[in-house]
Homo-oligomer: A and B are copies of this chain.
Amino acid sequence: MNFIYELPLSVRDYELDVQGVVNNAVYQNYFEHARHEFLKHIGLNFVELHAKGYDAVVHKIEIQYKKPLLANDEFVVKVAVEQEGALRFVFHQQLVRASDHALTTTAKVTSVFMTNGRPIRPPEEVLAAVKAHQQTD
């Protein structure tokens, strides 16, 4: 996988659940935040796209939980992206623990752009930004 973006993060205590590990749902926050930061990195902005009427929407997500994250853990969220057909982007994401470089969690996220509730071809600015970034990295 050709990861083109990495976001360093660390576990916050309020993200832990009664088992003393990061709650499963919180990983979706981590993965989403890394995708949105990646978009900013290539000149796009999720909230501004929404204001223009373009909503990037997750169609499907598959997460594999290999090892739990614990209090004080630091980690990196890696992002790769590929276009699938005319309408979809597929993000491949990996969460790697800083202390031992263990791969703790993976995600495959299929997303589409919607306008007024209908899937559309991604906006030109998005296609251009993704393409330009993939060429130069």
Q: Mark A54-87, 1 if CB is under 8 A from B, else 0.
A: 0101111111110010011000000000000000
Task: Indicate if the CB atoms of B16 and A24 lie closer than 8 Å.
Answer: no
Q: Which residues of B contact A28 (CB under 8 A)?
A: 24-25, 28
Task: Indicate if the CB atoms of A60 and B59 lie closer than 8 Å.
Answer: no
The reply to whether the CB of A131 lies closer than 8 angstroms to some CB of chain B is: no
Task: Indicate if the CB atoms of B47 and A18 lie closer than 8 Å.
Answer: yes
The reply to whether the CB of A29 lies closer than 8 angstroms to some CB of chain B is: yes
Task: Indicate if the CB atoms of B65 and A58 lie closer than 8 Å.
Answer: yes
Given A24-B28, A24-B32, A59-B65, do A17 and B16 touch, yes or no (CB 8 Å)?
yes
Q: List 19 A-B contacts (CB under 8 A).
A: A12-B33, A13-B17, A13-B36, A13-B46, A14-B29, A16-B18, A16-B47, A17-B17, A24-B28, A24-B32, A25-B25, A25-B26, A25-B32, A45-B72, A47-B71, A47-B72, A57-B65, A57-B68, A62-B63
Q: Could you say which of B17, B29, B50 contacts A25, with CB atoms under 8 Å apart?
A: B29
The reply to whether the CB of A19 lies closer than 8 angstroms to some CB of chain B is: yes
Size range of the interface on A?
A: 35 or more
Can you list the 8 inter-chain pairs with the closest CB atoms, starting with the nearest? A25-B28, A47-B71, A16-B18, A62-B62, A12-B33, A25-B25, A24-B58, A13-B36
Which partner residue on chain B sits nearest A9 by CB separation? B12
